[in-house]
Amino acid sequence: MTSLHVDRLSVSANDQVLVAPFSFSLQAGQCLTLLGETGAGKSLLAQAIMGTLPAGLTAQGQITLDGEDLMALTLPRRRAIWGRRLILLPQEPWHALDPLMTAERQIQETYRHAAGHDTERAVRYARQDLVSLGLDTAGARLPGELSGGMAQRVAFAAARAAGGKMVIADEPTKGLDSARRDDVVAMLKQTLAEGGTLLTITHDVEVARQLGGRIMILRNGDCIEAGPADQVLQQPISEYGRRLVAAEPSRWAPRRQYSRPDAPPVIEATQLSKARGGRTLFSEISLSIAPGEIVGISGPSGCGKSTLGDLLLGLSRPDRGQVRRAPGVAARRFQKLYQDPPAAFAPHWTLDTLLKDLIRQHRLDATRIPPLMDRLGLANVLLDRYPSDVSGGELQRFALLRALLLDPVMLFADEPTSRLDPITQQETMALLIELARERECAVMLVSHDEALIRHSCDRCLSLGNAEPHRPVPSTASSLPA
Amino acid sequence: MTTFTLTPRWLARRPNARYMGLVLLVLLLLFAWLTPWLFPADPARQNLLHTLATPSLSEPLGTDHLGRSQLARLASAIRLSIGLALLSVLSAAIPGVLLGVAAGWRGDWLDRGLGLVADCVLAMPGLLLVFMLAAMAPGQFWSLYVGIALVLWVEYFRVVRAATRSLVTSPQLQASRLLGFGKVYLFRRHLWPELAPSVLTLAAFGAANAVLAVAALGFVSIGLRPPTAELGLMMTELLPYYQEAPWVLLQPIAAVFLLVLSFQLLAGRDPR
């Protein structure tokens, strides 16, 4: 029987404690979810248990797997446990898979080399795994040709092929849309049903709810609340826990009705069509957006949401159709917010340098910055930092600041909060909407989270599923109670 | 208390290889440029009464087979090698980087056209191209330099083109473009910081290759003509006397070795 006991485990760097002493124990068939914001030290805990902490970080305390003290083992002995008894399901699996090896071969490899089966068996078992995970057709494909959800399943099959029962899943649903997320959760629950033990690390409250079991809420390296999932998620005791649960988009306060002024539209598109790689992404889309209006764009991944944005922003040309912007409005007043904030900044310069460049380029009034920074909750000290040294939420607000300095009339927000934790997401969305309304800036909000769109947008445009363009009026009455 | 690290620290960080390369290069530069000040002697002046003299106070490195001051000749040869190396690196790097950025940025026909030219140059044996130019203008300084630069630019072009191509479609560049920044800005803030480490590494390797190429050409008597003091030429001239005066022959060899070593150490990139 698998059992994992962690006793007073802490992680520190140069005498600075990053994760406070932390204890729990798990038996076969049990499930524990560590819930918390990015930077709460969740991933460090997983690495400490695996024994893969980056150089310079040290773990203290006791980790006992099936009665064996892991901390006393040498690195080669610990390596021998990986895969065979202890499995790590990594974040963003397409980074964990070998990009040049087909899905089936990667699973075979574990059977062959980690589990020690002969080639013939390895081939057979790998086939079986693919079939049982619903990936029959994906075996011959390379990771780059798999969708996020499929890659996650392949990575999982490869990880557990050596027979490990203790599974650590580090943000297994990061970057997946809600349908794929539910698939991954179902897959994890399947291992529980098969007698496995599960330690999941996530910032997604919904994942924690679906998994059930026990939950620990982490913040700044401290465990601030623990208990059975129902209890913690229904009636959180700690103030932070309450905020975390309330930050789920489905619990947001209903949006205020926005009376749409009959102003001329800021942007209009007629009969837009675009194909990529021989596949039609969308055809004959027409839309028109009024100043200050917030329009959601939803649809499964790969359905051309971002491409539509590129067309509207003039970054690429439609195959057919036309985009018309309001006459007399400068091109720079059509701006975009990106999914991954650090990717949207030049990484080698401080934020101050980048902001000053912008001021100089357009001869803007530099005195507008301090009040805007106050408004966005950005401290002055952040200006001297590099984009990589600022948290995702802060950087996204910087991106918003950068856009607002140019007085935008339209902001295309491409999943602006999908990489942020729930509380930061709620704050960022609230700011975005408030500022957009105030400045009559239209927002096109791309998201795979339907609840988020329902709670923040005036109307929604669904792409994909071969459905024709159909604006779905959303009303506050459609909220779940 | 237990510490787990996947790579031993000494492997993860090679101490100061770059720094050592820099120190070595500065010492060579000092030697090459200070010697004419401290020991003024004409590298071409012969003194047949003092051939192959052993090092002494008046001739710290001895004399060669024609009684010329070995110190003055060596300093002059190193000046020539470093000068030629830097010149050819600059004239290969600047067009290489600019063409690479242009090809990666515009893509399409410009990329294909420049790529074809680069492939053609690559298909030609580099040394042969230099031979050809040297044969067209024998003993001329420019023919060596143009030949080496023509061979070297392709490396910069290919590296820069590949890096530019992936950066051009990146969100960071797109964001800056939407914010209204021009091409010069995009190059300065986005492209150059990403390209600089590889370009500088290539430049250091290129300098080492240029030093070797010049010496090799001199050694087979194709490059510069006597009485120019040139490291490869000195080796050829001194080779017949290796039994009588091995220390004299060893001097240009050591100079080439140290020059190449210093550039190679400079090129050694710190693992991130």
C-alpha span between A186 and A458 (Å, rounded): 33
ipTM above 0.90, yes or no: no
- pLDDT at position A259, please? 64
Compute the distance between CA of residue B127 and CA of residue A217 in angstroms, rounded to an integer. Answer: 66
Q: What is the CA radius of gyration of chain A?
A: 24
A250–chain B nearest CA distance, Å: 30
The Cα–Cα gap between A177 and A301 comes to 7
Calculate the dihedral angle through the C-alpha atoms of A29, A30, A35, A38, rounding to the nearest 10 degrees: -50
CA dist A415 and A443 (Å) reads: 12
pLDDT of A475 above 70:
no
Q: Looking at beta carbons, which residues of chain B come within 8 Å of A15?
A: none
- How far is it, in rounded angstroms, from Cα B52 to Cα B64? 5
List the single residue in B with minimal CA-CA distance to A57: B3
Chain A residues within 8 angstroms (CB to CB) of chain B: 51-56, 58-60, 71-72, 75, 78, 313, 315, 331-332, 334-336, 338, 340, 343-349, 354, 357-358, 361-362, 399, 402-403, 406
Is B171's CB within 8 Å of A358's CB? no
Q: Is the dihedral of CA B189, B195, B197, B199 positive or negative?
A: negative
Q: What share of chain A is helix, strand, coil (3-state, %, to 5)?
A: 40, 25, 35
Q: Do residue B2 and residue A71 have CB atoms under 8 angstroms apart? A: yes
Nearest to B52, CA basis, from B42, B72, B41, B67 = B67
User: Tokens 């969305």 — which residue?
Assistant: A429
**Do B164 and B101 meet the contact criterion of CB atoms below 8 Å apart?**
yes
For B131, residues 6+ apart whose C-beta sits below 8 A from its C-beta are: B147, B217, B222
Contact status, residue A90 vs residue A155, Cβ threshold 8 Å: yes
Of A54, A344, A406, the CB nearest to B171: A344
Q: Determine the distance from the C-alpha atom of residue A376 to the mean position of all C-alpha atoms in its chain, rounded to a whole number.
A: 22
Q: What is the pLDDT of residue A293?
A: 86
Pairwise CA distance, residues A87 & A81, whole Å: 9
The verdict on a CB contact (< 8 Å) between A58 and B2 is: yes
A336 to B174: CB separation less than 8 angstroms, yes or no: yes
Give the separation between CA A276 and CA A283, rounded to whole angstroms: 12
**Does residue A473 surpass a pLDDT of 70?**
no
CB atoms within 10 A of CB A175: 20
Give the integer Cα–Cα distance in Å for A239 and A212: 21
pLDDT (mean) for A345-357: 89
Residues with Cβ < 8 Å from B35, sequence gap 6 or more? B71, B72, B74, B75
Give the residue from B207, B194, B193 showing the smallest Cα distance to B265: B207
Report the distance separating Cα B160 and Cα B154, nearest Å. 10
Task: Report the gap between the CA of B267 and the closest CA in chain A (Å).
Answer: 21
Inspect the interface and report whether the beta carbons of A361 and B3 lie closer than 8 Å: no
* 8 A C-beta contact, residue B120 and residue B90: no
Average pLDDT, stretch A412-441? 85
Query: CB-CB: which of A60, A345, A361 is closest to B172?
Result: A345
Q: Measure Cα distances from B238 to A143, A250, B28, B226 in Å.
A: 61, 86, 22, 12
The minimum CA-CA distance between A240 and chain B, rounded to whole Å, is: 32
The minimum CA-CA distance between B268 and chain A, rounded to whole Å, is 21
- Going from N- to C-terminal start, the domains of chain B cover 12-32+69-168+197-266
Residue of chain B nearest A338, judged by CA positions: B171
- CB spacing of B175 vs A55 below 8 angstroms: no
For residues B185-194, b (16+ Cβ closer than 10 Å) or e, as one string? bbbebbbeeb
Residue B181 C-alpha, separation from nearest chain A C-alpha, in angstroms:
7
Token look-up 């990575």 returns A155
At A40 the pLDDT is: 63
Among residues A163, A195, A4, which one has the least CA distance to residue A85?
A: A163
Distance CA A458, CA A289 (A): 11
Is B1 close to A58, i.e. CB distance below 8 A?
A: yes
The pLDDT assigned to A468 comes to 39
| Residues in chain B with pLDDT values less than 50 | 1-12, 270-272
Chain B residues whose CB is inside 8 A of the A53 CB are: 4-5
Contact state of A361 with B172 under an 8 Å Cβ cutoff: no
CB atoms inside a 10 Å sphere around CB A461: 22
Q: Tokens for A175?
A: 């970057």
Which DSSP letter does residue A380 get?
Answer: G
Contact B174 A354 (CB under 8 A): no
Per-residue pLDDT of A300-335, as tens digits, reads: 766 788 888 888 888 888 888 888 888 888 888 889
Class of domain B12-32+69-168+197-266: mainly alpha
The predicted pLDDT at position A466 comes to 42
Closest partner residue to A332 (CB to CB) among B6, B180, B193 is B180
Would the CB atoms of B171 and A357 count as touching at under 8 Å? no
Yes or no: say if A249 and A393 are a contact pair by the CB < 8 Å rule: no
Q: Across the interface, do B175 and A53 touch by the CB < 8 Å criterion?
A: no
Whether residues B4 and A53 touch (CB distance < 8 A) is answered with yes
- Structural domains in chain A, sorted by start: 3-251 (3.40.50.300), 267-462 (3.40.50.300)
A76: nearest CA in chain B? Answer: B6
Q: Kindly state the tokens that stand for B14.
A: 């090679």
Is-contact A344 B172, C-beta < 8 A?
yes
Query: For residue B188, which residues of chain A lie inside 8 Å, CB to CB?
Result: none
DSSP B169: T
Specify whether the CB–CB gap between A3 and A25 falls below 8 A: yes
- Are the beta carbons of B158 and B136 closer than 8 angstroms? no
pLDDT at residue A58 above 50? yes
pLDDT at A239 over 50: yes
State the greatest distance between any 2 C-alpha atoms of chain B, in Å, as a whole number.
76
Q: How far apart are CA B235 and CA B239, in angstroms?
A: 6
Is the preceding peptide bond at B95 cis, omega within 30 degrees of 0?
Answer: no
pLDDT for the residue B1: 38
Q: What local confidence, expressed as pLDDT, does residue A257 receive?
A: 67
Q: Which residues contact B272 (CB under 8 A, 6 or more apart)?
A: none
Nearest-neighbour CA in chain A from B65: distance (Å): 56
Nearest alpha-carbon partner for A209 in A239, A153, A251, A167? A251
Would the CB atoms of A72 and B2 count as touching at under 8 Å? yes
The CA distance from A343 to A321, in Å, is: 31
With CB atoms and an 8 Å threshold, state whether A343 touches B185: no
What is the edge-to-edge ordering of all strands in the sheet holding A57-65?
Answer: A16-27, A3-13, A57-65, A68-69
- In this structure, the strands spanning A57-65 and A68-69 are antiparallel
CB-CB under 8 Å, B6 with A52: yes
| Angle, CA A443 vertex, CA A442 and CA A445 arms, to 5° | 160
Whether A476 has a pLDDT exceeding 70, the answer reads no
DSSP 8-state code for residue A204 = -
Structure tokens at B163: 């890096």
Nearest C-alpha neighbor of B175 from the set A476, A411, A454, A88: A411
Q: What is residue A412's predicted lDDT score, i.e. its pLDDT?
A: 92
What pLDDT sits at residue A39?
A: 64
Q: Please count the residues of chain A.
A: 481
Determine the residue of chain A that is closest to B187 in CA distance: A346
Chain B residues near residue A51 by CB distance under 8 angstroms:
4
Within chain A, what is the greatest distance between any pair of CA atoms? 73
Q: Is the pLDDT of residue A1 over 80?
A: no
Read off the pLDDT of each residue in A222-248 and give the average, rounded to a whole number: 85
Residues A116/A118/A123/A127 CA torsion (nearest 10 deg): -50
pLDDT over threshold 80, residue A359? yes
Residue B2 contacts residue A59 (beta carbons within 8 Å)? yes
Query: What pLDDT does B44 receive?
Result: 72
Closest CA to A334 of A255, A265, A259, A429: A265
pTM score:
0.73
Strands A31-36 and A197-202: parallel
The owner of tokens 């005498």 is A15
State in Å, rounded, how far the first CA of chain B is from the last one. Answer: 28
Cβ B175–A338 below 8 Å, yes or no?
Answer: yes
DSSP state of A420: S
- Helices B231-238, B70-106: axis angle to 10 degrees equals 140
- With 0-12 / 13-18 / 19 or more C-beta atoms within 10 angstroms meaning exposed / middle / buried, residue A169 is buried
Percentage with pLDDT > 90 across chain A: 1
- Residues A92-108: what's their mean pLDDT? 83
| Whole-angstrom distance, CA of residue B233 vs CA of residue B227 | 9
Q: How far apart are CA A102 and CA A447, in angstroms?
A: 31
Instruction: Give A-chain residues touching B176 at CB under 8 angstroms.
Output: 346
Q: Which residue of B has its CA nearest to A61?
A: B1
| Cβ atoms of residues A135 and A154 within 8 Å | yes
Q: Virtual CA dihedral for A358, A361, A366, A368, nearest 10 degrees?
A: -60
